[in-house]
Structure 1
Amino acid sequence: MNRILAAMFCLMLSGVLPVHAEDAVLAELFQSRNVAGTLVISSQDGETIYVHNEERARTAYLPASTFKVLHTLIAMEEGGVADEKEVVPWDGKHRGPASWDRDQSIETAFGVSCIWFYQHLAGRMGSEVYTEYLKKTGYGNAQAGPDVRSFWLEGDLRISAMEQLDFLKGFHARRYPFNRASYDLVERLMLVDQSEMSMIRAKTGWVQKGKPEIGWYVGYVETLENVWFFAMNMDILEPEESRFRQIITMEALKSKGIWGNAGMKKL
């Protein structure tokens, strides 16, 4: 027993991160669809963690549009826009989905992941602003890179699923240097579904640089009893596979009784 305790103490001193057992239920959700990826679900205090593919969960990728959570906070704090309703006119150039082909504000651009709008904001604010906030929040590797308009899409910024959880926990606890109104706005924009028992706030992402492409789905579920944070990423080989980001995550949350659990108390 003394040897076991001594070994545990040495691990704590060495900073070695704990290894979590592979969750068979989560693994089956990926395997049944022949999808390579990872999913981590953690309670607010971190005492309960479900993991599929921990090695990948600690591997960093470009964040793509999941960065819009922090991006929006920065824009509101630093005057990238006057407020969430300020409209940036569309220049008439087609750059993606039809939902992007219109004048945009933060209220409209966040949900449809309008890249050109957030690139416009980045040009307004400059790289020094981003470098400052990446370091303050400890977001992934905190490397903005040389191109302020694309560092989260194809630049130097990288973040792992585990680091996404850390950031989201800090965001939910409001540990970062942003004002209350900015937090309130982003929380509202992240709301994707709610029931009588709980609500879910989340953001998708899709890294289209390189092969395979990488899909993200990150967020958290709020209930009266707890807050459950999740981060998943997966290889996307064909565009139609992108839907599995939300499908796998929601099925996982349901399988753990976190979402759609009839036993939860009413909010």
Structure 2
Amino acid sequence: MADFMIRFAICNVFISGIIGMLLIIKRLLKHNLSNRMQYNLWFLLLGLLAVPFLPIRPLGVMKILSWISGLRNSPASSVEIATEGTKNTNLNGNTDWMNDFALSVNSKAPSTVGYLLFGIWIVGILAMLILVSKSVLRLRALEKSALPVQSTEVRKLYHRCLEEMGIHRNIPLYSTAFLKSPIFAGLLKPRIYLPIHLISDYNESDMRYMLLHELQHYKHKDALASFLMNLTSVIYWFNPFVWYALKEMRNDKEVACDTSVLNMLDEDTYEDYGNTLINFARKVSLTPFPFASSLGGNMKQMKRRIVNIASYEKPTFAKKLKSMVAFVLTAMLLIGLTPLLSTQAAENQEYQWDVTKEDISTLDISEQFGTYTGSFVLYNLEDDHWFINDMEQSVTRVAPNSTYKIYDSLFALDAGIISPENSQIAWDHTDYPFEAWNADQTLSSAMASSVNWYFQSLDNQLGKTALQSYVQSIEYGNENITGELSSYWMESTLKISPVEQVELLTALYQNSLPFTPEDVHAVKDSICLSHSSSGTFYGKTGTGRIDGQDINGWFIGFLETPGHTWFFATNIKADQSATGSNAVEITMSILSDLHIWE
């Protein structure tokens, strides 16, 4: 819960920006959006405000683009991958890599700041609930003191208004001495309350306008809207931008209701309806009830409504169409921003890959993954063509674990800590759980047995500043190494997606990274798993182990075959048994089925 609170706080920064953007859009499109559509836009915002509490990540622009790309490109199940002379039944080079040695790390202790923020948030919610409860009790007291309207004239007029609006439900009409303006209240049991002075000073025209206004609130389910707005104000009590948005939504609700009434009236009666509001502006006060809709409002709101009435014209078909188009475009923009507000998405960052510039085919290989969540990414260098089974997972960033050692060794080689000719580091006789670790190591032996202490020693000599510079220079994943120096790549802050793994391997192969060809060649030699006349296979595994459970498995690499060079990245995730070794088995099965390496 503490981690959620930190992410929720970050989400509120984006929420504030989205509210500002929505206000600007409403201002720019005020002549294109009808009053009702302007009000409806706020419901999109209410939906966005629910996103941080969803247990899943919502669809965003990236997913939509991937679908479009999937439609544009043919699925790989019907694509013949041309390969000749690529059959090889063994990986006859290094063998220790299949042991996939990994140490367990402890799950991160929740942030004290997160707990503090969570505590403050809960206290604020409780305080808001107390205030809302007081208002609800006042409404209950009003219900008990109110009496059914006895005036025959008012009741006859009320039934005519119900018929005029096509409402068949019998909505009770009550009178009370404790109100200055009519209100509509009740989510499950809707009622309309009229001040006694309106009944005693009965004016048929004014009363009709008031009743039509309150019935419009019923017809458009504004009681539910009021409930959602109040729920939002309780949850987001700390965000002034949300409070301002809710105030504007309430104002737009009344303006939209006025517009709905005007649509029912003749043009020569608009002025009479406006005069009714003006008369009420002198004596109404804001309703103290959180789940009620009132004819009244503050003076600024009343002025805005009167101006709207004075300038109102019944919309033509063209104007309605323009309003609908403007609403749909705005809705699409807001929906595209939903991943920014997902606390689940905040935890699992996504690589913003521009798929529109890539040639991508979809692989139908879900059965290969069994119970694992994961992805397989394959890239053909010569054809400049991608094969991906799950676009969303392929751009999801997770900890690289031991696959990061490929680039960590490059950093150390570039800094002169080790060299291609002399990469040995002496064992300090610490007793490690794997026998292969309890010996002096070279780059090749350390890579083959995934010897953590060897690369931790390199990092200690490099230092955080140099490491940060190197990570940024090659644009490695999220470039975040703020975790502990000994474990920032092990289920910690550094994260990378399968697509980025393949892109970096391609850059490594083509010597386009800022390192010497000699250093790149030394690293490539250290991850060479098999070499024969059929081709050469390079790869590195990685396993993320938390509290003794293997939850994140990697296998990445590339193959040189006659006429083709293939780059791949397989990632699997689960609560347990998601190891690099299992990722290897999945990868080799897929490559065999595609007739790339058999």
Q: TM-score with structure 2 length normalisation? A: 0.39
1:165-244 correspondence to structure 2 within 5 Å: 165-209=502-546, 213-239=551-577, 242-244=580-582
Compute the displacement of 1:67 (Å). 0.6
Q: Percent identity among equivalent residues?
A: 25
1:111 and 2:448 matched = yes
Q: Deviations over 1:220-258 (max 9, x none)?
A: 111231211100111254458553211110111121121
The 1:212–1:59 alpha-carbon spacing in structure 2 relative to 1, beyond 3 Å, is farther
2:473 matches 1:133: no
DSSP 3-state at the match of 1:208:
strand
Shift of 1:107: 2.4
1:245 aligned partner, one-letter code? A
Write the letter of the residue equivalent to 2:408: H
Residue 21 (structure 1) shift: 5.6
Of residues 363, 367, 387 in structure 2, which corresponds to 1:28? 367
Aligned to 1:67: 404
**Could you tell me which residue of structure 1 aligns to residue 587 of structure 2?**
249
Task: Find the aligned partners of 1:121 and 1:241 in 2 and give their Cα distance.
Answer: 25
Q: Hey, what's the Cα distance between the residues in 2 that align with 1:53 and 1:61?
A: 15
2:429 matches 1:87? no
- Residue 144, structure 1, aligned to residue 481, structure 2: yes
Q: Would the aligned equivalents of 1:127 and 1:148 in 2 still touch at CA under 8 Å?
A: yes
The code of the aligned residue for 1:30 comes to F
The one-letter code of the counterpart of 2:475 is: G
Please give the alpha-carbon distance, in whole angstroms, between the structure 2 residues aligned to 1:108 and 1:139.
24
Q: Greater CA deviation, 102-111 or 55-64? A: 102-111
The structure with more helix, counted as a fraction of residues:
2
Indicate if the aligned counterparts of 1:153 and 1:209 stay in contact, CA closer than 8 A: no
Deviation of 1:194 (Å): 2.8
Greater strand proportion: 1
Q: CA deviation at 1:45?
A: 5.0
Cα distance in 2 between the residues matched to 1:193 and 1:240: 24
- The one-character-per-residue Cα deviations of 1:111-169 (angstroms, maximum 9, x if unpaired) are 10000111011001101111111111111111221532221114311100011011111
Aligned CA RMSD, in angstroms, stands at: 2.5
Structure 1 residues 134 and 106: alpha-carbon distance in aligned structure 2, compared to 1, 3 A threshold: same
Task: Output the CA distance in 1 between the equivalents of 2:536 and 2:433.
Answer: 30
What are the ranges of 5 or more consecutive residues in structure 1 without an aligned counterpart?
9-13, 261-267
Structure exhibiting the larger radius of gyration computed from Cα positions:
2
Residues of 1 paired with 2:353 and 2:446: CA distance?
Answer: 41
Per-residue Cα deviation, 1:47-97 (whole angstroms, up to 9, x for no partner): 432222221111101111101111111111102225554432222223332
Cα separation, 2, equivalents of 1:241 and 1:226: 29
> How far apart, CA to CA, are the structure 2 residues paired with 1:80 and 1:207?
27
Correspondence 1:159 to 2:465: no
Task: Provide the rounded CA distance (Å) in 1 between the counterparts of 2:374 and 2:525.
Answer: 28
Counterpart selection for 2:435 from 98, 102, 107: 98
Unmatched runs of 5 consecutive residues or more in structure 2: 1-67, 73-351
Could you tell me which residue of structure 2 aligns to residue 41 of structure 1? 378
Q: Could you tell me how far apart the structure 2 residues matched to 1:184 and 1:259 are?
A: 23
Indicate conservation of the 8 Å contact 1:250/1:259, yes or no. Answer: yes
Give me the whole-angstrom Cα distance separating, in 2, the residues matched to 1:216 and 1:112: 15
- How many residues are paired up? 246
